[in-house]
């Protein structure tokens, strides 16, 4: 069993902090409960495939039967909500209410953790195998915060019984796909400005590679592993096999890449806002050096799907400061079919 703890400053030094101490430290953050992110039914967004808690999986409303139930300290295995929990954390989270999130179709398990007298947190868990992404997300969240970019704080991580767990802070506000306070124009401005700020980070400082060559390798591995759902393809590709679509992907590969630090899954549910202002990125497991169109393509498609048309795509590019390259937009939309 491997446990990693958040590092906190203490008397001028850094010390390893047990989970209960890390949670207590987080409780000092002044976050109003009504402003903490709680995934909610949102506009239909086919971009949301296979990500959680609010990534790229087609959305379905949360079931009332999946409301969190109070844990008992003597339980083993999953919590009453169905969320697995590592044995090492059971006593610390014994009085927490674990509310499993039904939004998303990811391989990862995601739950909101309601802790008495403390700010809410999110718990994410995934089986460790060749296609696991949670370890990638943990590393990227830590790196993002070190760059001054708003993202969830990694409170603690653990590996136990072939699974990896992440406990992270909840960001304030609502995601852009469900925010009731943002008119479309304001939403587009928040989206464009957030991406432009991320893309301005120095590429040389980013240790994560997500360029086309590696993404094509990952896509091919997912095809070979049977992880690509042909029934989930966009309408124009329904009826085609993953192998056929992958051949189209290779044939349309751009000749060059305009490299930036990319989020990797920049659809509306993965950006948060509070009081009309950007409050952070979530679902950051695919962040890395990539063409800026990796983000722009998914952001544009998310706008189309959420607002049922292309009305807000041109304002996105105008605010971002770029003339849209339709071929690169099409390629990165196609690439996303495999993830």
Q: Could you give the CA distance from residue 188 to residue 176 in angstroms, rounded to a whole number? A: 9
Other CB atoms within a 10 A radius of the CB of residue 339 amount to: 19
Nearest residue to 160 via CA among 109, 185, 204, 125 = 125
List, as one string, the DSSP characters of 71-96: --TT--SS-TTS----GGGTTTTTT-
Using the 8-state DSSP alphabet, how is residue 61 labeled? P
Catalytic residue among 45, 265, 291, 336: 265
User: How many residues comprise the chain?
Assistant: 339
Active-site annotation holds for 258: no
Nearest residue to 193 via CA among 290, 254, 84, 277 = 277
Q: Could you give the CA distance from residue 215 to residue 286 in angstroms, rounded to a whole number? A: 10
List, as one string, the DSSP characters of 254-270: -S---EEEE-S---GGG
Beta strand 277-281 pairing with 288-291: unpaired
Active site residues: 265
């Amino acid at each position: 069993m491997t446990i990693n703890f958040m590092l906190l400053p203490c008397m001028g030094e850094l010390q390893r902090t047990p989970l209960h101490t890390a949670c207590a430290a987080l409780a000092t953050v002044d976050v109003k409960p009504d402003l903490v992110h709680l995934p909610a039914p949102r506009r239909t967004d086919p971009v949301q495939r296979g990500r959680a808690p609010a990534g790229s999986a087609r959305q379905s409303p949360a079931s009332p039967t999946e409301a969190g139930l109070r844990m008992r300290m003597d339980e083993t295995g999953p919590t009453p909500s169905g969320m697995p929990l590592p044995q090492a954390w059971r006593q610390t989270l014994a009085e927490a209410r674990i509310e499993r999130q039904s939004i998303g179709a990811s391989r990862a398990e995601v739950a909101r953790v309601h802790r008495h007298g403390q700010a809410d947190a999110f718990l994410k868990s995934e089986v460790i195998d060749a296609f696991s992404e949670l370890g990638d997300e943990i590393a990227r969240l830590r790196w993002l915060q070190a760059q001054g970019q708003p993202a969830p704080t990694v409170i603690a991580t653990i590996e136990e019984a072939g699974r990896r767990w992440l406990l992270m802070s909840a960001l304030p506000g609502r995601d852009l796909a469900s925010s009731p306070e943002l008119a479309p124009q304001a939403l587009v401005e928040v989206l464009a400005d957030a991406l432009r700020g991320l893309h301005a980070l120095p590429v040389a400082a980013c240790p994560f590679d997500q360029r086309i060559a590696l993404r094509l390798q990952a896509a091919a591995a997912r095809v070979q592993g049977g992880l690509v759902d042909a029934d989930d393809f966009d309408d124009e590709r329904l009826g085609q096999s993953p192998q056929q679509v992958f051949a189209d992907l290779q044939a349309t590969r751009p000749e060059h890449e305009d490299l930036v630090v990319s989020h990797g899954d920049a659809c509306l549910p993965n950006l948060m806002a509070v009081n009309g202002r950007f409050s952070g990125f979530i679902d950051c497991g695919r962040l890395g050096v990539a063409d800026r169109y990796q983000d722009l393509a998914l952001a544009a498609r998310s706008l189309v799907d959420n607002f049922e048309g292309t009305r807000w795509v041109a304002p996105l590019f105008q605010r971002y400061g770029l003339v849209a390259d339709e071929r690169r937009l099409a390629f990165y939309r196609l690439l996303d079919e495999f993830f």
